[in-house]
């Protein structure tokens, strides 16, 4: 029983390390993206100054366009007010445009501009590379181990360890 308690502690410690590692990797990804965006800025002749929330909003719009504020907020897990601020910034920078559907003049939808599509492609390329490396990493495990890992991650996503009992 002692070894099980010790193993649980080790798993918790690794979980915390994984969270920290994820934060560091996001920073690395942001730096890689910024280098590519700087190259694009030179090509376009304008400075974009995008943060990761801006880039993820562009990705969300590019993946689901035409899309409205409510849908973006739901998909990104942000408030509508935050999405409104981000979209206003992206419109100002010429990365997205506002449209209305012909059957609903009240609702505002967003689409990427040509410049926004370039950012979307850069972001998607980064994600595709990471996804491929992750899947290659999983090749070292058996089918049963992968199914267990899927169940573990699913359970982790549904758990709130900060909630008080």
DSSP states along 133-158: HHHHHHTTS-HHHHHHHHHHHHHHHH
- Count the alpha carbons within 13 Å of 107 in the hemisphere toward its beta carbon: 12
65-113 pLDDT per residue, tens: 999 999 999 999 999 999 999 999 999 999 999 998 777 777 899 999 9
pLDDT in tens, 28-65: 877 777 777 777 777 667 778 888 889 899 999 999 99
Q: Where are the domains of the chain?
A: 48-158
Looking at the domain 48-158, which fold is it? Arc Repressor Mutant, subunit A (1.10.10)
The pLDDT value given to residue 34: 76
pTM above 0.75, yes or no: no
């Amino acid at each position: 029983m002692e070894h099980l308690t010790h193993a649980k502690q080790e798993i918790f410690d690794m979980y915390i390390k994984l969270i920290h590692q994820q934060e560091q990797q996001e920073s690395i990804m942001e730096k890689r993206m910024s280098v590519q965006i700087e190259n694009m800025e030179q090509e376009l002749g304008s400075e974009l100054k995008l943060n990761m929330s801006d880039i993820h909003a562009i990705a969300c719009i590019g993946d689901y366009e035409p899309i409205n504020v409510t849908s973006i907020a739901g998909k990104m897990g942000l408030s509508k007010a935050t999405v409104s601020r981000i979209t206003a910034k992206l419109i100002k920078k010429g990365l997205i445009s506002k449209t209305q559907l012909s059957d609903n003049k009240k609702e505002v939808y967003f689409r990427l501009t040509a410049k926004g599509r370039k950012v979307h492609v850069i972001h998607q390329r980064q994600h595709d590379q990471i996804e491929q490396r992750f899947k290659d990493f999983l090749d070292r495990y058996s089918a049963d181990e992968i199914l267990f890992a899927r169940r573990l991650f699913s359970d982790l996503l549904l758990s709130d360890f900060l909630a008080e009992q």
